Structure 1
Amino acid sequence: MLPVEYKAVEAAVVGDIDSHKPILVLGLGLAAGRSQICVEKVALNFRDVNLKDNSGFRPEHDRIELDGPVALEAKIPVNKAVESLRGAGIPAKLSLSAGGYLCNNVMYLICREARRRGILGGFVHLPAHEELVAKLGRDIPSMNISTMIRSIRLIIETVLNHNLVERQQGIAGGEPNHRRLDTQAKVPRTPAQNI
């Protein structure tokens, strides 16, 4: 889990990527109120929201990266991920905005680092899970946790398979410095996968 603090999140994202050296970074965020899995297409280089983070900081008309591009696209096949989810009977859609809060910030950092390192990177928003909705007592859409876990696994599988096919066909998206995909690599399990 990442800190819900603008000033700490960059060090956390970059530090995690440095220490784990992944071939794929897939950020996950809560989108309470959404009823579907939302695969995000683009992150904006802006921090301007009327909400304070957990440290009390509220950015105003701020950029994530001063000299960075205005927007960065996900480095995963977002349309294929959505198609795979829908094909498995999971409600999903392509989203063109990771929002204005920390999720957009995290996605921008993931996409930036994916480009710098020649790896895959993207972001997915999940609906609230049933227990959270019950705890909050609010009338908002929910999804059960097992469907969310299945969704995340399916997205990862789709992204890695698509990347492998592109490499075999020699069309790695035109991106330089891609690391070779090791199809025998073990993907560490997260605590959520043990449920």
Structure 2
Amino acid sequence: MEVLITGFEPFGDNAANPTQKLVEILSTDYAPSQQNCGQLRTQLLPVSFTRARAQIQLLAAKFHPRVVLCTGLFAKARSLLVERIAVNEQAGADNDGLTLSGGKVDAAGADGLFATIDTARLSDFLAQRGLRTEISWHAGTYVCNTALYTAVQSAGAYGGKAGFLHVPADVDVHALAAALYEWVEAESELAAAGQKARAGRSSTTS
């Protein structure tokens, strides 16, 4: 099973973005050759309403990852936040100098989209590994929200799933990278077990 995890570059008053370091660690310390159950891809996204959306759409169309997990910085957060909903709205000034106030992510899209990964399972998984984690109702209206909305749309087009994880500024990125690697393996094992079960049912009814 292929999984795509994305992070963002620094933005605004934030000199660094821990999700940039996160994807760097995942791409070097947890290379695809080390995966037992699938392939892990990573991508650093620009903090740009238009370019982040375009990159996610391109990656989804090219690789068809079964799971897309976008990550981004929420500097004021005190814990990891597993987001449940993306709204069809964009607001704020991005790194391209574009300032939006109430613009749509997709002019023809739904007002909101639920994350399609099992948010409770991800939250519990991270918490069990000592990372303080909460469920959050929606991802705001900045580029992180645009990423989640786009990922749900793009992955949904071929039956994939998508979600978003906001991280605080002081997150232990090495611990988070290790936990997410384990989560990728666990999700891959679940997917493989599901495929095996479906194949077994098919063989008994054919």
TM-score over 0.5 for the alignment? yes
What is the TM-score with the length of structure 1 in the denominator?
Answer: 0.72
1:145 maps to amino acid: V
SS of the aligned residue for 1:96 comes to: strand
SS of the aligned residue for 2:76 comes to: coil
1:30 maps to amino acid: L
Asked if 1:60 corresponds to 2:80, the answer is: no
Question: Aligned in 2, Cα 1:46/1:12: closer, same or farther, shift over 3 Å?
Answer: same
Asked if 1:118 corresponds to 2:159, the answer is: yes
Tell me the distance in 1 between the aligned counterparts of 2:47 and 2:80. 21
Asked if 1:156 corresponds to 2:176, the answer is: no
| Equivalence for 2:74 | 31
Over the aligned positions, Cα root-mean-square deviation in angstroms equals 1.9
Question: Aligned in 2, Cα 1:114/1:24: closer, same or farther, shift over 3 Å?
Answer: same
Asked if 1:85 corresponds to 2:126, the answer is: yes
| Equivalence for 2:117 | 76
Given that 2:65 and 2:155 are in contact with CA atoms closer than 8 Å, whether structure 1 keeps it comes out as: no
Tell me the distance in 2 between the aligned counterparts of 1:83 and 1:73. 18
Shift of 1:108: 0.2
Gaps of 5+ in 1: 129-141, 171-195
Shift of 1:106: 0.4
What is the TM-score with the length of structure 2 in the denominator?
Answer: 0.68
Instruction: Judging by fraction of residues, say which structure has more strand.
Output: 2
Shift of 1:13: 0.9
Tell me the distance in 2 between the aligned counterparts of 1:41 and 1:154. 21
Question: Aligned in 2, Cα 1:83/1:32: closer, same or farther, shift over 3 Å?
Answer: same
2:185 maps to amino acid: E
Given that 2:64 and 2:160 are in contact with CA atoms closer than 8 Å, whether structure 1 keeps it comes out as: no
Gaps of 5+ in 2: 1-43, 199-206
Shift of 1:105: 0.3
Shift of 1:166: 5.2
Tell me the distance in 2 between the aligned counterparts of 1:8 and 1:42. 21
